[in-house]
Chain A
């Protein structure tokens, strides 16, 4: 029996959170363990319960380790334009410089151009440790271009980790080549394991010289995806699974997907919200299919976290993104600029820089441990969310008005746990605050009790307080987790002494539109 298959796509509403929780209660493979107790590379600073060999592979990978994403950068090269399946949430025709979402790039590269770009970026941004090929189509629908690019980089910059993101249709055919180029991270987008549901997400696939539609298409796709996943994990290649949460179509079913991929050896599951603005021209955008709210997304992620590491810091970036997650420096590295560059790959400087980053990371973890010790002995059931404005390095170091996104932490007596991020429009542009943008920000972090910033102006401060969100600037340029725990301790003290009353916050909106470039 499948509940999701009978679910009407148009009836999505908040009541579904309850239904999801119900579906989860019946589902054994993915038990909940109280929400915050689970060690996870997606939410914790340290190794947690990951086997050492996996931890070694992921600890400096921004897409796989929440903690690493504050310190290390990634880049994608758009060498793979062709795709072999059609998804209802994707429209390849739309391309705009201000658009930041998967499937979108500004220019295609040849493998040779891509290799030069990688070296140029690696020399300019020493914390760039990961090169991914994620499209804009499917890398394995363009196997020659994809593997030529890997070969060139593998030969010139062997310290750069290679990874690949695929829909999985052609994966079983290429597993040996993936192993040959030492690609040790593969992401497979798996949105369903039930072809009935798949038929609502994928209108067609192109496989062995034939276009398949409906149930048949989805059946081939899911069989190939799961077979590919098994083949990779057998060879010790790390696999992350991405799933797009589509309310009313696969939201409840993703619990089943979680169980299926976990049992086949995936080490991390990334459930992402559907992006479906009508202006993107996707099938879902045009037929009014909505994305999930922040609360619905978190409820699903929390429920799958029991036995599997969940990723919550995914930025759903472009197939040609460059930089730390959440920032995009691709405009600095256009083909014209790169081809004119004199590139010298300096492995030594990169190594020295990365050693410094490691020292920072250790200091940050130590600071957090200290503060956690302070919290020991305090007992309370209260859990609150707080938003943080950061530019990276794990510090509260961004001005409220300059933040393009806020990181969200859940605070409890167990400590500070990263649970997601919220994109916001730039509130401050050219030095002038815009009231409309402030409303957008408040909607995006409406479920938070406080927002931690390096600096904030008087006007937004007043409006935030009116909205019930406390602006906190006293921890400017300090470590996020340590500061959040200190603030939470003071909050609990105030609640206990009766000075303030603890009230639950409402839901928040997930930003859908284009990311406006800071430049």
Chain B
């Protein structure tokens, strides 16, 4: 399951965009969105998901439970 951004809580501060190691985050309609195809939950890059760590509003970058967890390539 990749991460998603809860749009109603996003302040559109853009802090997450440059931190994403997969360039999966972009601005869309005034807030920011994560491309689920690109998100790797930061596995292999960092100890903690960067969008979660930098976001000023708690519980705004969350796991998208509607999608399967990210699988690192074997």
Contacts and interface: CB of A to CB of B under 8 A. Distances in A.
- B interface, over-half SS: loop
Interface in B18-74: 18-19, 46-48, 50, 53-54, 56-57
Contact of B12 (A81, A84, A141, A211): A81
Contact of B14 (A81, A86, A206): A81
A366 B47 CA distance: 65
A211 B54 CA distance: 7
Given A93-B57, A209-B19, A82 B50 contact: no
Nearest to B17: A82
B13 A211 contact: no
Contacts of B46: 209-210
Nearest to B50: A209
A84 B15 contact: yes
B56 A83 contact: yes
Q: Which bracket fits the contact residues of A?
A: 10 to 19
Interface residues of B, number: 17
Contacts of B56: 83, 86, 92
Contacts of A111: none
A93 B19 CA distance: 20
B23 to A, nearest CB: 15
B54 A84 contact: yes
Nearest to B56: A92
Contacts of B13: 81-83, 92, 136-137
Contact of A211 (B14, B17, B53, B57): B53
Contacts of A108: 12
A84 B50 CA distance: 12
A139 to B, nearest CB: 13
A92 B19 contact: no
A141 B57 CA distance: 17
Interface of A: 81-84, 86, 92-93, 108, 136-137, 141-142, 206, 209-211
Counting from the closest, the 5 A-B pairs by CB-CB distance are A82-B15, A211-B53, A81-B13, A206-B54, A92-B11
Interface of B: 9, 11-15, 17-19, 46-48, 50, 53-54, 56-57
